[in-house]
Amino acid sequence: MGLTGKMTPYKNGFGPFPADIFHIPFPMENHGVSEDDSLAALKSLFKIDVDPERVAAIIIEPVQGEGGFYIASPQFLQTLRAICNVHGIILIVDEIQTGFARTGKTFAIEHAGIEPDLITVAKSLAGGFPLSGVIGKSEIMDAPAPGGLGGTYGGSPISCAAALGVLDVLAAENLNSKANLIGEKIVTRLTTIAARNDVPPIGEIRNLGAMIAFELMTGTNSAKPDAHMAKTLCATAADNGLILLSCGIYGNTIRILVPLTASFEIIEEGLDLLEASLVQCASSRVAA
Ligand SMILES: Cc1ncc(COP(=O)(O)O)c(C=O)c1O
């Protein structure tokens, strides 16, 4: 909870949180935060708040999950790696949403061609069975004493078997390529939908493999996020039989994370429901 960069709904009313966790803005060009801005914020953090030599770790999602599916470029991640190397800081990538073929690579960090020191994994790791893990360099992983890191659910045999099954399916069904194909198909369809004049204004559509999102805006060419429309769309789609999830610090982003094993027929069916729901939302707004 200390680490998450999203106040609502995760932090409001909770606390206290551990001290000495600092957040810098994630690059999101379409909301006015360039990668240079993010790096400048880090530089200023090191000047104002914390000596980089005291920093244990920098943690980043290569593609933000809850934060809004913004994508950190390979250059940005390479720059963070270089900064970590200079100051002896550990680089942790959180691949809990991006891991296991979701972005077209087994781990999203592979797009950047750098090696993190630790990777956190969960969710797709065991195809929905409860399992999470940390992958890391041995000098870090072996630092705690044997049994020093434990918990009630550690090493659940059924979840571990499911995770081994996931690795088999990932290879057998070539899910990295499938993720790229899913991404291309969905983005093409979203682009066609966004061009209609009877749907709510859609801003940026972005994806890395099958990690896909689009933003709802208050008007065509408007830079103002429409969180209310995102809520309305999720409710309308649910009524129509399609579960959608919003995300983003502005609450206006719809994320699409279809199972990588889904058939293209099912994906098309979902997109048909999405399109119909968008048209319905726009017409009810006109009627209101
Ligand atoms: C990217 C990301 N990191 C971390 C977490 C938290 O993981 P856990 O529930 O395993 O603590 C989540 C969501 O649950 C997530 O989406």
Nearest Cα to 216, choosing from 185, 192, 239, 247?
247
Nearest atom in ligand 1 to the alpha carbon of residue 95 is 1
Q: Is the CB of 59 under 6 A from ligand 1?
A: no
User: Which distant-in-sequence residues (6+ apart) come within 8 Å of 118 by Cβ?
Assistant: 57, 90, 91, 92, 93, 134, 135, 136, 137, 140
9: preceding bond cis by omega (within 30 degrees): yes
By alpha-carbon position, which residue is closest to atom 2 of ligand 1? 96
Identify the structural domains of the chain with CATH numbers, from first to last.
29-172 (3.40.640.10), 175-287 (3.90.1150.10)
pLDDT in tens, the chain (288 residues): 999 999 989 999 999 999 999 999 999 999 999 999 999 999 999 999 999 999 999 999 999 999 999 999 999 999 999 999 999 999 999 999 999 999 999 999 999 999 999 999 999 999 989 999 999 999 999 999 988 888 887 889 999 999 999 999 999 999 999 999 999 999 999 999 999 999 999 999 999 999 999 999 999 888 899 999 999 999 999 999 999 999 999 999 999 999 999 999 999 999 999 999 999 999 987 776
Provide the whole-model pTM.
0.94
201: preceding bond cis by omega (within 30 degrees): no
User: Is residue 30 within 8 Å of 204, Cβ to Cβ?
Assistant: yes
Q: Is the CB of 65 under 6 A from ligand 1?
A: yes
Cα-to-centroid distance, 275 and ligand 1 (Å): 29
**Could you give the C-alpha distances from 89 to 37, 57, 83, 84, 217, in angstroms and in order?**
21, 5, 8, 4, 38
Helix residue spans in the chain (DSSP H): 35-48, 74-87, 138-141, 157-172, 175-194, 227-239, 264-287
User: Cα(200)–Cα(230) distance, rounded to whole angstroms?
Assistant: 10
Phi and psi of 94, rounded to 5°? -90, 110
